[in-house]
A and B are shown apart, each in its own frame.
Chain A
Amino acid sequence: DTAVSQTPKYLVTQMGNDKSIKCEQNLGHDTMYWYKQDSKKFLKIMFSYNNKELIINETVPNRFSPKSPDKAHLNLHINSLELGDSAVYFCASSQVGREGHNEQFFGPGTRLTVL
């Protein structure tokens, strides 16, 4: 009955590889997000999708490409991984437009380590 789930939980890989992180939400929300949390715990929005359409695309390298096959899924694909990509990546979802219900629900995170 997990609301927002991510796989994998841990990802260790070599520089230069391509990897994907998957996210699924069963809350019926129409908007999903990807955040990056750095080693100092600072969280920053990367992308936002509403009904499979890209809404927010912050300044991230174009090696990062989100893909939303349907509104319950938002996957993150990363090409040519670099050491600086090591971080914890969080997926989140929310329902836009409902008065008083604008909080985001977060997944458990994926800890990516690039060697």
Chain B
Amino acid sequence: AQSVTQLDSHVSVSEGTPVLLRCNYSSSYSPSLFWYVQHPNKGLQLLLKYTSAATLVKGINGFEAEFKKSETSFHLTKPSAHMSDAAEYFCVVSRSGAGSYQLTFGKGTKLSVIP
């Protein structure tokens, strides 16, 4: 079984300040982990992924995440928030099965950026 817990349903930051979106996972095997972003009324876009290579993963738009097995965490960070970062962010764990990957989504964290 696998699960994901996003620890904050809503995070609000000022423009230019750091962003931290927290995610803990549970998995019976070595997981693949992802962060997706969903802007209002849009589809989901992949920000970054961890697939057992480097534990510090860099993604698009200046985001990065660190896989910490001992803490079962995969927190998303960005040094300086931009207004365009305001969106819903989903932490996702993937399990491989016969012929497909089953994604389990967290409940999402809404990021607000204050000018």
**Chain A residues proximal to chain B, CB less than 8 Å:** 31, 33, 40-45, 48-51, 53, 55-56, 90, 94, 96, 99-100, 102-109
**What A residues does B85 contact at CB under 8 A?**
none
Does B64 sit at the interface, judged by CB under 8 A? no
**What A residues does B88 contact at CB under 8 A?**
41
Decide: B102 and A48 in contact? CB cutoff 8 A.
Answer: yes
Decide: B102 and A102 in contact? CB cutoff 8 A.
Answer: no
**What A residues does B51 contact at CB under 8 A?**
99-100, 102
**Chain B residues proximal to chain A, CB less than 8 Å:** 32, 34, 36, 38, 42-46, 49, 51, 53, 88, 90, 94, 96-103, 105, 107-108
Closest chain-A Cβ to B51's Cβ sits at a distance in Å of: 5
A58 nearest CB neighbor, chain B only: B102
Count, A-B residue pairs, CB within 8 A: 65
Q: Complex formed: what's the CA distance from A106 to B94 in Å?
A: 15
Indicate which residue in B38, B46, B90 contacts A105 across the interface (CB closer than 8 Å).
B46
Chain A CB within 10 Å, residue with most, of B36, B38, B43, B107 = B43
Decide: B32 and A50 in contact? CB cutoff 8 A.
Answer: no
Closest chain-B Cβ to A7's Cβ sits at a distance in Å of: 13
30 A-B pairs within 8 Å (CB atoms) are namely A33-B100, A41-B38, A41-B88, A42-B107, A43-B44, A43-B105, A44-B105, A48-B99, A48-B100, A49-B100, A50-B99, A53-B99, A55-B97, A55-B98, A55-B99, A56-B100, A90-B43, A90-B44, A96-B96, A96-B101, A100-B51, A102-B32, A102-B49, A102-B51, A102-B96, A102-B101, A103-B49, A106-B43, A108-B43, A109-B42
Give the 10 A-B CB pairs with smallest separation, nearest first: A50-B99, A48-B100, A106-B44, A108-B43, A43-B105, A55-B100, A55-B99, A106-B43, A41-B108, A31-B100
**What B residues does A49 contact at CB under 8 A?**
100
Q: Complex formed: what's the CA distance from A96 to B98 in Å?
A: 9
